[in-house]
Chains A and B, each alone.
Chain A
Amino acid sequence: MAQILLKSISKKFKDETVIEDLNLEIKDGSFTVLVGPSGCGKSTTLRMVAGLEKQSSGEIWIDDVCVNDTPPGLRDVAMVFQNYALYPTMTVRGNIEFGLKNRGVSKSERGKLVKDISEIVGLAPYLDKKPQSLSGGQRQRVALARAMVKQPKVFILDEPLSNLDAKLRNQMRTELIQLHKRLGTTFVYVTHDQVEAMSMGDEIVVMNMGAIQQADSPMKLYQDPANLFTAQFIGTPAMNIMNMQEVQGLDIRSDRPVGYVGFRPEQGLMNPAQQVEGLELKGEILTRESLGAENIYQIRSQAGVFFVKTFLKPLESADHVNITIPYNELFYFGTDGERLYGAGIHARHLAAGGVLI
């Protein structure tokens, strides 16, 4: 159990600055997910916590200890690598107990620990096999067992599911969530997949170009994005963003100029039966994706192309539709992409419009 503190961390590779002045608190016992597009610095951040990469400046604290000069092995962290990084010449048992041997754990104690762990992750029948004779999922479990057996303060997982097929990935996702609950240890998890981040993390750190865009709980990120990047990164399909100049019929009250307006695809009401106070867009349906319980439409309007998602409704067959987005479901962003929290629809307009839904 440990909390991790990153204090104004920077990382430069030769002349290239990968991370600039990053501050982050990872809470004790949390499942924190670092998410972002490739090259955003999330893996580098993770590797600096593990000690595999040295920060150019700043401090890393694990609990009450500054670990800047602590070698990886002594930081009490365990890591699961994307390619598992199993020792190919050792058996599964050898892989799991290698870390224990290096710590001088006695043979009988090792045997007991390996036995316990291998039962938890379901590896007991494979202990004497070499990793290359195991399937992807089993190798993943060996990597997990190797990390778990050391009973570390912090678990670090670097895209551990990206080499598995879709079904196995879902299964391992659930297993990891359960594992976290069971161990109660701090998990730091890196992924580029926002679905993985949303479904697993209780704290999500969205990163882009070496800077933290937003660190929040999954629902907070979704419902209250701090900027355009987060709004468009989280959610499938992503939030629809329109240039303010192309949107008509919005009378916005704001102390700063509004650059963009956005809404979630599921908030767009298609041909609403009742009168709804909101932004109205007329458009033509370009594509229809029917996923069973939900349908996703791609619609072209004067304000640009956007997506609308409907639930438990028959597939719309008309070519031309009216979309209404309730005013309180609109998000406003400044020209720099920052969220304008103060912005809203002008009061007079609302009064004239009648009931607000």
Chain B
Amino acid sequence: MTVWHKLRPYSMVAPAIIIFSLFFIYPIFYMIYLSMFDWNFVSPTKAFVGIQNFVDLLSEPEFRQVLSNTTLYTLLTVTLTTGLSLLLALWLNRGNFFYGIVQGAIFSPHIISLVSISLLWSWLMDPEYGLLNWVIGLFGFAKLQWLSHPSTSLISLVIVAVWKGIGYNTLVFIAGLQSIPADIYEAASLDRSRPWTTFTKLIMPMLSPTIFFLVIINMIGSFQVFETIAIMTQGGPVNSTNTLVYYIYEYGFRFFKIGYASAAGVILLFIVGILTIIYFKLLSNRVHYR
């Protein structure tokens, strides 16, 4: 009786703990372990190489380009998604006629699977028969190569990510804006505050927890981008859209250099870990402003 009494809470959380350990904790440690070996997945022997995988990775120009691609992709995606969503939210929050329609329209990409979205945009961005080039042609501009040229391939992927993410971000911003009481705006108007002053001095600070939340969530998501790249570009052309997760996938499951891929995984874990820590630090400091 008393033993069961003591065990009961643990038995309640056991399923979650077991699943979490099995599919999250164990793989993380196994990945860190593998990152110190040279192994091809099938060979019965693993050769211990210490930190050699990391040394190889960091001296590899291809990997450095992957890192810079990922960073650039993340910066562009996060800035554009957050910025555009904020503008859209400010516009929609005025409660005009378009509210229902636009909100529904921009939110729908969020619920479509990324695979469908990738295929859809591959067609839209087709240099010869794509809708985008047709529209550009109507305005008399030269056709763009979109995904097929290194100079536009990454930005094309950014466009897809922004298109996909903007609905959710706008929704969160609108929720944030609506938590600001109406009398704050009224008090500001009585204080002769101009719209820009109201926005920068009152709205932005009150919205800052929402902004931080979205920036960090978007950054973590962008660093792990995979589906669109796997389907639309496979990292090309000439490595211009190769990002961390796709790189890991290629080395792990196509070239079977599992130790090397694990080392890249550890680096990704490190980056995302830092972002998460920043997120929780900022969250605990900034969110309790009321």
- Interface residue ranges, A against B (CB under 8 Å): 50-52, 71-74, 77-79, 81-83, 85-90, 98-99, 102-103, 130, 132, 146, 150
Q: Complex Cα distance A98/B192, Å?
A: 9
Residues of A within 8 A of B181 (CB): 83, 85
List the A residue with the shortest CB-CB distance to B180: A88
Which residue of B190, B192, B205 contacts A89 across the interface (Cβ within 8 Å)?
A: B205
A-B contact pairs, 23 of them (CB 8 A): A50-B190, A71-B189, A72-B190, A73-B189, A73-B190, A78-B190, A79-B186, A81-B187, A83-B181, A87-B201, A88-B289, A89-B205, A89-B208, A98-B188, A98-B191, A98-B201, A102-B191, A102-B192, A102-B193, A102-B194, A102-B197, A132-B290, A146-B187
Residue on A nearest B187 in the bound complex, by CB? A85
> Is the pair A89, B202 in contact by a Cβ cutoff of 8 Å?
yes
Mark B178-221 against chain A: 1 for CB-CB distance below 8 A, else 0.
00010110111111111001000110011010000000000000
Chain B residue contacts of A74, Cβ below 8 A: 192
Residues on B facing A (Cβ under 8 Å): 181, 183-184, 186-194, 197, 201-202, 205-206, 208, 289-290
C-alpha gap A119/B169 in the complex (Å): 45
List residues of chain A with CB within 8 A of the CB of B187.
Answer: 79, 81, 85-87, 146
Q: What is the distance, in angstroms, from A350's C-beta to the closest C-beta of chain B?
A: 58
A150 vs B194: C-alpha distance when bound (angstroms) = 17
Determine the chain B residues whose CB is within 8 A of the CB of A88 once the complex forms: 206, 289-290
A103 to B183, CA, bound (A): 20
B208 CB contacts on chain A under 8 angstroms: 89
Contact A85 B184 (CB under 8 A): yes
Assembly CA distance A168 to B187 (angstroms): 24
Cross-interface CB contact of A103 among B189, B192, B201, cutoff 8 Å: B192
**CB <8 Å contact, A77 and B289:** no
Q: How far is the CB of B198 from chain A (nearest CB, A)?
A: 10
Given contacts A88-B206, A89-B205, contact A132 B186 (CB under 8 A): no
**Additional A-B contact list (15), CB under 8 Å, known A87-B187, A98-B193, A132-B289:** A51-B190, A71-B189, A73-B189, A73-B190, A74-B192, A79-B187, A85-B187, A86-B187, A87-B184, A87-B202, A99-B190, A102-B193, A130-B289, A132-B290, A146-B187
Partner among B183, B193, B201, B205 whose Cβ is within 8 Å of the Cβ of A85: B183
Do the beta carbons of B202 and A72 come within 8 Å of each other? Answer: no
